[in-house]
Amino acid sequence: MLTGSIRGRWHLGARIGKGGFGEIYIAYDFKTQLHVAIKFEKSGCEKEALRFEIEVLTKMQSSVFVPNFIFSGCNKEYNFLVMDLQGPNLASIRRNHKNRCFSLLTTVKIGIEMIKAIKDIHKAGYIHRDIKPSNFVLRRGTKLVDLIKGRPSNERSTLTCMLDFGLARKYLDKEKRIIKSRGEVGFRGTARYASLNSHIGQDLSRRDDFWSLFYLLVEFLKGELPWSRVKDRKLIFELKKKFTNRNLVKGLPSQFALFLKYIIKLKFPDIPDYKYLISLLKQALHESDCKERDKIMDWEKD
């Protein structure tokens, strides 16, 4: 547990997250008098994923879907990254929500933002490789009404933002050509949301971010996936192989079957059709009987 202050500027508060490689703390910035989030990683640790994460976050600063980068540094004990403090992550929001699922409106609104966020990271030359609900947080202070009314695009006024670029990977070379698949490289990502390609250890590409997004959206709507209660990765793989078909989207708007049909066809180097996937989500909402008064996000209802 870290306490005290960093560089005499950031006073550490509570720990708000703990992941595979690091810990995230809330901190008070004496200079700006605002709260921030600081991600720590032990220095000298084998992977030094934070250094790479900082590289990706910095390159993505023109995207409205990432937190604002504030500072990064290191000392003998740890490397750290200071960024804007955001709200709770979508995994915890879903878990604490009624029936553990989100309405179609909420799923579509945040799903569209997620597609745009993925498009932005792809545009920056990286694949994320760990798309999952805990890697998206609610943007602090944003309400649905802001989103509906629209804000200037240079303001970061989105509803959600994307985090955690520790597993991201470049997919373009210096000449902006797609780096060829390296073949079998081992599992990457999080078992529940990983694509079948990842389970068989194949090198990942842009399509795999959409496979993870697909599983995430189904989980949001249904409250669980057939392998949600399973911990063993091999068993998850078996269940995923068995259930990744039309049955998985049974009971959902037909556009989710089209989403699945589309991503099944994507090959390693293909550019995903972001617009098409967004249009499917919009259509799903349009065709539903979601009334105007229901146009409020699930977490704003209480």
* 40/259 with CB nearer ligand ADP: 40
* 109/128 with CB nearer ligand ADP: 128
**Distance, C-alpha 69 to centroid of its chain:** 17
* Pairing assessment for the beta strands 5-6 and 23-29 based on DSSP bridges: unpaired
Point out which span in 1-9, 13-21, 249-257, 292-300 binds ligand ADP (CB under 6 A): 13-21
- Examine the residue annotation and report whether 130 is marked as an active-site residue of this protein: yes
145 token code pair: 């009404």
Give residue 92's identity as a one-letter amino acid code.
S
3-state helix, strand, coil split of the chain in percent (to 5) is 40, 20, 45
* 22/111 with CB nearer ligand ADP: 22
- Rounded least distance, CB 256 to ligand ADP, Å: 25
Q: Where are the alpha helices (DSSP H) in 223-300?
A: 233-243, 255-265, 274-287
Point out which span in 98-106, 114-122, 161-169, 171-179 binds ligand ADP (CB under 6 A): 161-169
Could you give the CA distance from residue 188 to residue 217 in angstroms, rounded to a whole number? 20
CB 195 within 8 A of CB 208: yes
Give residue 200's identity as a one-letter amino acid code.
I
Give residue 59's identity as a one-letter amino acid code.
K
Which of 63, 72, 79, 89 binds ligand ADP (CB under 6 A)? It is 89
Which of 163, 213, 225, 263 binds ligand ADP (CB under 6 A)? It is 163
* 72/86 with CB nearer ligand ADP: 86
Look at residues 301, 297, 282, 291 and name the one whose alpha carbon lies nearest to residue 103.
297
Residue 86 in contact with ligand ADP, rule: CB under 6 A:
yes
> Which residue of the set 130, 164, 208, 298 is catalytic?
130
Look at residues 155, 120, 160 and name the one whose alpha carbon lies nearest to residue 140.
160
Which of 120, 164, 203, 208 binds ligand ADP (CB under 6 A)? It is 164
- Residues of this chain, 15-34, that bind ligand ADP according to CB under 6 A: 16-17, 19-22, 24
* 54/108 with CB nearer ligand ADP: 54
- Rounded least distance, CB 59 to ligand ADP, Å: 17
* 48/238 with CB nearer ligand ADP: 48
- Residues of this chain, 281-300, that bind ligand ADP according to CB under 6 A: none
**Measuring CA to CA, how many Å separate 43 from each of 21, 51, 52, 73, 181?**
11, 10, 13, 11, 31
Q: How many residues bind ligand ADP (CB under 6 A)?
A: 21
Q: Where are the alpha helices (DSSP H) in 150-232?
A: 196-199, 206-222
Residue 272 in contact with ligand ADP, rule: CB under 6 A:
no
200 token code pair: 């068989």
- Contact positions toward ligand ADP, by CB under 6 A? 16-17, 19-22, 24, 37, 39, 67, 83-86, 89, 134-135, 137, 163-164, 166
> Which active-site residues does the annotation give?
130
